[in-house]
């Protein structure tokens, strides 16, 4: 199964992707995580991406398309994959289709998680992520048992650099201007599975697995 998770910043793509990995055994491919890892390692790619990410702007299409093209050709993607945060522009979506066509593959479902902007701001400002294992939490909506400590591995929790109100506003605008047109794009392609992203994490997970066929 090959899936795209579409949704604004904070819609729950990463949270749901981690649960879907456990259920379906297909890898989560998050361009945001890949870029943050490159930044942490101090690679040329990471340094180039830094200024865009800190400003809440999109990294240029050719950079992320190159990352994805390499990633989906790896062995663990043979049984399928889940794209989290890619594509984010019509150009990226067209490029993805071209790469998949060349491999005689196709996307099965585009799960679009819809959440109102004010809720997104509340989710992002309270998000905490584990430095060691990448698990996500929320100080109010999904708090760790011990403040600042990951429930799963005991790692230290941190707040993402782009989760400040100013950068969040820019990310929301970029989503509306450049990524939201993909909803219509995938609707026309007959692949769109819209999900109302309000409710508990488990309720939304149940809605997603039901559209994916259980
Ligand atoms: P990326 O890392 O993809 O960030 P994003 O799209 O802004 O999305 P987030 O990761 O912030 O949100 P999410 O939907 O994963 O939410 P989460 O599950 O964590 O991209 C970062 C940057 O990298 C971009 O701005 C850009 O610069 C660059 N980039 C990445 N991909 C790119 C691309 N393809 N092209 C160009 N540039 C690219 O949940 C958020 C919080 O809410 C958590 O605290 C969680 O616990 C909580 N939560 C989740 N579900 C619920 C619920 N149901 N109820 C209450 N709280 C909930
Ligand atoms: Mg994410």
Report the pLDDT value the prediction gives residue 160, as an integer from 0 to 100.
94
Query: CA-to-CA distance for 212 and 92, rounded, in angstroms?
Result: 23
What are the CA-CA distances from residue 211 to residues 109, 135, 191, 201 (Å)?
Answer: 9, 25, 11, 16
Q: Is residue 151 part of a domain?
A: no
Report the pLDDT value the prediction gives residue 131, as an integer from 0 to 100.
93
Ligand 1 pocket member 27 (CB < 6 A): no
Residue 145's pLDDT band (boundaries 50, 70, 90)? very high
Ligand 1 pocket member 53 (CB < 6 A): yes
Tally of structural domains, the chain: 1
Q: Is residue 31 part of a domain?
A: no
Q: Is residue 157 part of a domain?
A: no
Report the pLDDT value the prediction gives residue 106, as an integer from 0 to 100.
97
Residue 42 predicted with pLDDT over 80: yes
- For the whole prediction, is pTM greater than 0.85? yes
Report the pLDDT value the prediction gives residue 50, as an integer from 0 to 100.
96
Residue 214 predicted with pLDDT over 90: no
Residue 59: CB partners within 8 Å, gap ≥ 6?
A: 31, 35, 48, 49, 52, 53
Taking the CA of residue 60 as reference, the ligand 1 atom at the shortest distance is 36
Q: How far is the CA of 75 from the centre of ligand 2 (A)?
A: 23
Ligand 1 pocket member 136 (CB < 6 A): yes
- Cβ–Cβ < 8 Å for 125, 165: yes
User: If you take atom 40 of ligand 1, which residue's CA is the nearest one?
Assistant: 10
Q: Is residue 9 part of a domain?
A: yes
Q: How far is the CA of 31 from the centre of ligand 2 (A)?
A: 9
Query: Mean pLDDT, the chain, as a whole number?
Result: 96
Mean predicted confidence (pLDDT) in 204-208? 97
pLDDT in tens, 114-143: 999 999 999 999 999 999 999 999 999 999
Name the 3-class secondary structure at 162.
coil
Q: Is residue 196 part of a domain?
A: yes
Q: How far is the CA of 102 from the centre of ligand 2 (A)?
A: 28
**Residue 157 has which token pair?**
């929790």
Q: Is residue 152 part of a domain?
A: no
Instruction: Give the structural domain span for 205.
Output: 2-26+79-115+173-209
Ligand 1 pocket member 39 (CB < 6 A): no
Ligand 1 pocket member 129 (CB < 6 A): no
Residues tagged active-site? 13, 88, 127, 160, 171
Q: Is residue 6 part of a domain?
A: yes
Residue 51 predicted with pLDDT over 90: yes
What share of the chain has pLDDT > 90, as a percent?
99
What share of the chain has pLDDT > 70, as a percent?
100
Report the pLDDT value the prediction gives residue 10, as an integer from 0 to 100.
97
Report the pLDDT value the prediction gives residue 179, as an integer from 0 to 100.
98
Report the pLDDT value the prediction gives residue 203, as an integer from 0 to 100.
97
Residue 74's pLDDT band (boundaries 50, 70, 90)? very high
Q: How far is the CA of 101 from the centre of ligand 1 (A)?
A: 28
Q: Is residue 138 part of a domain?
A: no
Mean predicted confidence (pLDDT) in 45-65? 96
Q: What is the CATH number of the domain that holds 199?
A: 3.40.50.300
């Amino acid at each position: 199964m090959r899936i795209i998770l579409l949704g604004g910043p904070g819609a729950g793509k990463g949270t749901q992707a981690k649960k879907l990995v456990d259920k379906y055994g297909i890898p989560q491919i998050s361009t945001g995580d890949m870029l943050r890892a490159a930044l942490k390692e101090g690679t040329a790619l990471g340094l180039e991406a830094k200024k865009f990410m800190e400003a809440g702007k999109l990294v240029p299409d050719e950079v992320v398309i190159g990352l994805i093209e390499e990633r989906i050709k790896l062995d663990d993607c043979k049984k399928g994959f889940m794209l989290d945060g890619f594509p984010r522009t019509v150009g990226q979506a067209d490029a993805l289709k071209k790469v998949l066509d060349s491999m005689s593959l196709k996307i099965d479902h585009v799960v679009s998680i819809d959440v109102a902007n004010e809720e997104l701001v509340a989710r992002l400002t309270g998000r905490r992520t584990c430095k060691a294992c990448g698990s996500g939490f929320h100080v109010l909506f999904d708090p760790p048992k011990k403040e600042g400590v990951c429930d799963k591995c005991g790692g230290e929790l941190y707040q993402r650099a782009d989760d400040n109100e100013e950068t969040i506003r820019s990310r929301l605008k970029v989503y509306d201007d450049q990524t939201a047109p993909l909803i219509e794009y995938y609707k026309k392609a007959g692949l769109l599975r819209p999900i109302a992203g309000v409710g508990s994490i488990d309720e939304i997970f149940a809605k997603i697995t039901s559209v994916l066929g259980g």
